[in-house]
Every structure is written in C-alpha cells, then in structure tokens.
Structure 1
Amino acid sequence: MANIEKAKDIQEEHRATPTSPGPELEKRFAVDTVHSDEAMTVLANYDGAIFGIREDLELTGNRYSMASSIFYLGFIGGAYPASQLAQRYPIERVAAGLVLVWGICLLSTAACQSWQGLYAQRLFLGFLEAGVSPIFMLIVGQFYRKDEQALMMGVWYSASGAHNWFFGAMEIYVYRRRSHGYTIGLCHLFFLPPDPIRAKGFDERERYIAVARLRVNNSGVRNKHFKKQQIFELLVDEKFWLVLVMGYLSMIAAAPVNSFVPIIVAGFGFNTLNTLLLLSPAGIVAGSLILGETYMPYKFPRMRTYVIFVCELTTIFAALLLWLLPRSALGGLLFGCYILCGFSGGWGILMGLSIANAAGYTKRAASLSGIYIGYCLVQFTGPSLFQSQDAPRYKPGFMAVVITSAVSALLSVVYRLVCIWDNKHRDKVGTVEAFEHAYEDDVTDKKV
C-alpha cells in the first residue's frame, strides 16, 4: 500500500497549487524502445524466409507455419506469471530481467541446427516475451491520460515498423541485430520509470503534477495487492469480451504480415536481393499508417471506434488485392502487401481502450493479460490458415482475413453502442464518473 499512501501524501501537500498544461507536457514519458526491439523476434523468421532458413533447418510442409505459431504457445504460458511478477515486485526490475534473458535467448537463434531446436528456442522465447508488452502498457497507464493512451500505443507500433525498415534495409548481421536487446535490458533496469511515485528526477511538485493529471482516469495507482473482486467484475464486463474478440479476429491478418509476405513477394519471381529491397518500404508504410491511425483519435476525441473501423477496412482492401488480383498486376499486389498491416493501428487503439475502460490496477492488469492470451491464440492458429500447398498466393488464407476483419469492424460499432448505452445509464442514475479519490484508492468504475 506504500504507493497509495505516497500518492495521497503528494496530492494533499500540493493540492492547493494549480497545474497548467505546460508542466504536464514536460512530465510525460515515451516508452517505445523495447517494443521496437520486440520486432526483432518476428524478423528472425521474417528475414529468415528470404535467406534460406526453411531449407537450412528443413522447415518443409507446414513446419515453417508451426515455427511461427509455437512462439505464441510459449507466450500464453508466460502471460500470467509475468503479470503476477509485475504486480508483486518492482515493475522496472521485472521488465529489465525479462528483456535481459530474452536478449540472451534471441542470440541463441543462430545456434539452432534443426527444426526441432528452432521449435524449442522459439517456445522459450515466447515465454520470456509474454510480459514485455503488458508490463509496458501498465506503465503507460500510470503516466498517460485516457485521451493520450491510444496515441502512445501507436508510437510503440510505429517504432516497430521503423525498426523493421531500418534493419531490413541495412541488413546488419544477425549478431549485431540481436545482441543489442541484452544491452537495452540493462538500460531499463536503471532508467525505466515505473510510475510517477518512484520515477527518478522529479521533485515533489513534479510528482504531484504527474499524479494529479491522471485522476481523471479513475484507474488506480499501482499497488501490490491482488483483488479478486476486480477479477470477477472483469469477467462479467461485456466491453472486455468485445475487445478480446475484436482483437482476436483482427489479428488473423498478422500471420501473413509477420511470416508470409516475404514468401509472397519472392513468389513474384524476384531474387533474394530484390525481394529484400521491395520489402524495405513496408516498415516505413507500416509505421506511418499506425502512427496516423492512432493520432486521429488523439486529435479528434470520441473517434476511436470509427478509426478502428477504418483500420479494418484498410486490411480488407489489402487482402482483397492479394486474393483477387492477377499475378501480372505486380504494383497492386505490392501495394496490398504494404498496407495489409492497416489493422495494427486498430490494435493499438484497442489496447488503449482496454486501459482506459478498466479502472482498478488488478482489473487492468488482468484485462491486458487476457487480451494478450487471445492475441497469442490467434497468432498460434492464424498461420495454419496459410498452408504450404497454397503458396505463394494463399487465397484461402486471405479469404479468411477478409471475413474476420469484416466481423471485427462490425464489432467496433457494437462496442461504441455499448459505451453509449453505459454512459446514458450512468447519467440517468446520476453516477459521476470522476468520483473523488478513485485514482489513489485503486477502485474500479464500479467501486470494487
């Protein structure tokens, strides 16, 4: 309870002094470095498809798909332990430890001599990486207001796109590409700000600004106590299940983006070098799309579900191009490959919604873990839709992407209607959303 008491003390000491937007802006943090490094895990298979990993490790038949899927099986196993560690122990130390061991494990990719060894390495890699994104989302929830959180998720994913472009274009050797994750783990041990209460470099006045600006979130200051009541509330929250299903359906498109686009482009008849050059702009396009998509709801309030809908339409359009265009239409097919990742911006906004609409620290942590388990399930099952006999066009897979993205788009409309109904019901019964002490008392939107 130390953080809660400290938050109350800080607010009582400085409550009489008003804050202004200028100092607030100075106290915001960007925590996108590790998420951009997470892209290296995907690139291990992504670039490997171009440079012969399938032949070298005998990834024949559907073994290549399973090499992508098994990573997320480990992810599922590691999600709950990571969330518990992050709640019970200093979150910056947990994050640093995970990233350190994750970097060492990623280095071991070069030592894999068979497909069995690759399977084992990627299973353990997924187990270690399970805590990275949820932990950093929890940190975002401790520093940013609701209207800022979706944009910060976009910054993360746009950083991944830029990182993919940089290393894809330069193609620095494997050892340099992967060993720097180890160094970044050490940096986060010493420099990662876990929450406004314990962030280094703040005086008491600045801590008050960082804490006070988040009271509107009603999301609860970080504490180490697991509250079962908040878990029960989450399980009957229809918004949680809607986000879970939307995320699952929209991320079906991640399978071709993460693993099969290089095979598709190489199937156009290009050699290794030209395939790599043609894929290089994809990172910039992805980063720009994601950043633009998540900036829109930040600039224009109450637009998040509309932007999610448009993101899904972008992916549907790209999948239709890759499904229906003739092989001779190389320009259109490449364009489809570049914009297929349009769903990623919607995923970032969904993560922002899951934080913004889940008050209470335990509820928010459990919500993120649950959504990431759904994310892992779709990453595990999604590649199975892209069978080796369908290469390089994968028409059945892209048909599935069109259908699931369309359903996800419709569910975003349902989510909006549910939120409108909840708000009207709250107004009708006279419940005030920003009730007093919600942040420092760590209660949910239903005061559990």
Structure 2
Amino acid sequence: MSSTESKKTEADLAETGCPSAHGDDLDTSDAAVHLDPRVRRKVDLRIVPLVTITYLCCFLDRSNLGNARIAGMAEDLDLVGMRYQIAASAFFITYGLLEVPCNVLFKLMRPSIWIPSLTVGWGVVMMTMSAVQTWHGLIIARLFLGIAESGLAPALAFLITSWYRREDQARPIAGYFSAASLAGAFGGLFAFAIEKLNGRSGLHGWQWIFLIEGLLTVVVGLFMFLFLVDYPDTAKFLTPNERDHLLDVLKRDMAGQPLHFDMRFVWETLGSPKSWLMTAIYIGFTVPIYSFALFLPTIIDAMGFSSTHAQLLTVPPNVLAFITMLSICMLSDRAQMRGLYVAGTSLLGITGFIIFLKTNPKAHPYVAYAGAMIAAAGMYPGIPLTLAWSAGNAGGSLKKAVITAMIGTVANLGGICSSFVYRTQDTPRFVLGHSVSLGFMCMALIGSIVAVIWFRAINNNRDLAPKGESPGEELGTESPHFRFML
C-alpha cells in the first residue's frame, strides 16, 4: 500500500470512528476490543429484525395447535383421549432427531439460502394442515413440520453468534427468541380474529388459522431471500472500514479458537461433560416452555373462562415474558455474566409453578392466572441466556454450531415429554403437568449453579498457572488463555 493510500485509509477510518484494521495486525487499544456503537447499530438493524420475524413465524406455527384445538379442531378431528398429545409430540420427533445434522450442513451452506428455504418449506406444510381430515393426517403433517423447522433455531443462534462478541450475544439472541413469547401473544390475537372466518369458503375456524398463518410464513420466507445476509466478511451494508473493524473485534474475541471444519471438533463437543451440563440447563427451560405454549389456552380454558376469552387471556403472560426476556438479557450482557441470571430466572419460574400447584383454578382463577404470568416471566429468559452461554463457551465456530444444535436436539426430544404431561383427565388442576414443569425448572437452577462453580474453578486455576506462549487455535477451550463466561 502506498503512503498516499495509507493516509487516505486512515482518514476514512477517522470519519467512521473505527480503528485501523488491516491484515492480521490487531489493534490492542480499547477501540479494537469494543465495537464502534455506529457499527453495532447497523448490525442490530440488519440482523435482529429479520431473524426475529423468522422465529416469530417458526414458533407461531409450531404452537398454534393449542389455539386450533379450542377453536373446534378437537371435535372435527375427534381428538379424544391422548390423540391431541400424540399429534403435538410428533413434531418433536423429527425436529429433535434432525437438528444436529442440519446445523452441521448449515455450516457448509450460506445462511441467506438455507434459512429462507426452511421458512418457505414449513410455511407450505402449515398451509397443508388446513386440509387434514383425520387425526392421522394431523400426525403426518406435524412430522413434516418438524422436518422443515429442524434446522432453523440452531441456524439463527449460530448466525447471531457469528456477528457478535461473546459478551454481547445474549441481547440479540433474546431479541429473536422474544419472538417465541410474541408468538404466544399474537397467536391468541390471531386465533381470536381468524375464528370469525369460521364457515367462510367451507372452512372451519381452525383451518383458517393454519392456512393464514402458513401463508404469512411463506411470504416472510420469500422476503428473507432478498434481505438476509451471510457473515461479516461479506457484509455489503457496511463500509469496507466498518467491515474491517468488525472483523478485527470478532477475531480478537475468537483468539485461540479453531475456525476451520474438522469432524474431530464435532466428536469433542458431543463428548464433553460441559456440553451435557449446558444441555441439562437448556432442557430445564424448554420442556416447561413447550408445555406452556401448547397447553396455555387449555389451562386458561379450564379456569372457567370461555374459549374466546381464553384465546385473549394467553396474550398478557406472553407479553410479560417478552419484556422480562429483553430486560434480563440486556442486564446479563452489561454485567458480562450468564449463570446467576439463569439461576434467578429459574427461581422465578419455580415460583410460578408452585402457585399453580397450590391453587384450585376453578375456585381462584385469578390467582392461578397470576401463577401463569410469573411462570412465563421466569421461563422464557432462560433460553437466550443459556444459548448465549453455551455458544460463548464452545471454543470455535464448528463447536459453536454443534453445541447449539446438540442442546436443541436433546431439549426438543424433551418436547415429546412436554406434549403428554398435561392430560385431559387432570383438568382443571393439571397436577402432573405443573409438577413435571416444576421439576425441570429445578434442574435448570441446580445446573446453572454447578456450571458457575465449575467454570469459576477452571478460570481461577488458569489465572494462577504460568501462561507461556500461545499454543495456537487447536486447543480451543482447553487453551490456558481461554476463559469461560460465568
């Protein structure tokens, strides 16, 4: 580079507020460690809204079965006994089994092609669910829905962690996972409005729910083909200097971690006790959340409210979960701490389920409803916090992809359990369902405490040990220079 070009480059960098970033030379100043706020805002505005809308459609389509059930589907498809639970669980079988292979495949493909393709795919499946005539057909449709959605959640988590430092990941992950709670809120509102189409064009209200929400998903998927971006090194919405600055910040954050593809990293991640501990924490939140999403309309309906009011009353718990999730995850990023926040939210969820168990919903419906509000506020924040925690401590891009898929696979197989614990014969108190959810929340609490103690002990030992020269990127989390987030 000529002297004139060098001066021009530095002048450009001064205008953007970004530090110099060229080649492999890393600026060790604070400006190189911390991302320029203007670059962060650009990344936030381009990444978070798109993945949030996509995940909103994802969770809306997987959980609208509960809204359809009380909108007449149970009677039309003769969902007696455990048939509804079997149909709900079918989704998690294919969803869970395909999540790890899908995320390994995703690592070899472009996000701007993979994610929109999945979105259009499950949108089409959702539309076809409006044509099912028997509960057997409903089961088959749910199996295909699980196939189509299986690669999405880990792909979105991996995409987010590819654009943000470990310390900054909880907030954007919460931004898109907040769509899960928004899906519960919108799902109730949509179902309330769509039910009014009952009888139009010969379709029942529950069929209109599947058809309209599936069509909405297809439109979002087509939109994503046009606007979703891939990785920071190909970001055209950033100037060259902003892109170089972002890459330098991310490179410093990933220092000492392997970035290339090697199946050895897959097996190391799958066999790591730390991976299984994070999986246990994650499943401690997901089983209650899936139960909550699938059965909240039924639980509220059992309190004595009409089906129409039950649809609307699903909105406030999910709105509260949305607010709590964003707030707690922002605090976690600011404190650069995960474990204590995970433990705190699990305690809140435990409180909600204890209220459920101690209350007769027929006699005291508003007390039981308060339990639903508290449980929602405690369950939902744990998901993005645990995802950010596990991905940030993975030690390499491929390991990050595998751990996010791994915890999702096991947790979503746990979703099979969540489909059966709220049984029709247990209405209105649902003691079995609330007890199982409470037990899983306790597992999340214990696991988070164990993880904090374990990671702190490792960090303390490495702080006391002589560092020596950097051993390179092959060691990943075993490097004496790597520090686990607590």
Given the two structures, how large is their TM-score scaled by the length of structure 2? 0.83
Match in the other structure for 2:36: 21
Find the partner of 2:167 among 137, 147, 155: 147
2:402 is the alignment partner of 1:387 = no
Deviation at 1:11, TM superposition (A): 3.9
Deviation at 1:263, TM superposition (A): 1.2
Match in the other structure for 1:247: 282
Alignment of 1:41-120 (within 5 A): 41-120=61-140
The alignment-based identity, stated in percent, is: 22
Deviation at 1:367, TM superposition (A): 0.9
Deviation at 1:308, TM superposition (A): 0.9
Match in the other structure for 1:33: 53
Alignment of 1:229-268 (within 5 A): 229-268=264-303
Q: Which amino acid aligns with 1:26?
A: R
**Contact kept in structure 2, 1:40 and 1:178, CA below 8 Å:** no
Find the partner of 1:314 among 345, 348, 359: 348
Structure 2: distance between partners of 1:412 and 1:160: 22
Structure 2: distance between partners of 1:176 and 1:387: 29
Could you list the per-position Cα deviations for residues 391-427 of structure 1 after superposition, in whole angstroms to 9, with x for gaps in the alignment? 2321022122222212320111100011101111222
Match in the other structure for 2:23: 12
Q: 2:370 aligns to what SS in structure 1?
A: helix
Larger Rg: 2
Find the partner of 1:165 among 181, 185, 206: 185
Q: 1:32 aligns to what SS in structure 2?
A: helix
**Contact kept in structure 2, 1:32 and 1:156, CA below 8 Å:** yes
* Mean CA deviation greater in 363-372 or 17-26: 17-26
Deviation at 1:45, TM superposition (A): 0.6
Q: 1:193 aligns to what SS in structure 2?
A: coil
Q: Extract unaligned runs of 5+ from structure 1.
A: 1-9
Deviation at 1:307, TM superposition (A): 1.2
Structure 2: distance between partners of 1:343 and 1:161: 10
Residues 1:203 and 1:432: Cα distance change in structure 2 (over 3 Å): farther
Match in the other structure for 1:3: none
Match in the other structure for 2:478: 446
Structure 2: distance between partners of 1:437 and 1:195: 24
Tell me the matched-pair count.
Answer: 434
Could you list the per-position Cα deviations for residues 334-375 of structure 1 after superposition, in whole angstroms to 9, with x for gaps in the alignment? 111223222221121000011100121221111111111111
Q: Which amino acid aligns with 1:307?
A: Y
Find the partner of 1:296 among 331, 346, 356: 331
Residues 1:169 and 1:436: Cα distance change in structure 2 (over 3 Å): farther
RMSD (Å) for aligned C-alpha atoms: 2.6
2:408 is the alignment partner of 1:408 = no
Q: 2:347 aligns to what SS in structure 1?
A: helix
Deviation at 1:222, TM superposition (A): 10
Q: Extract unaligned runs of 5+ from structure 2.
A: 1-20, 195-208
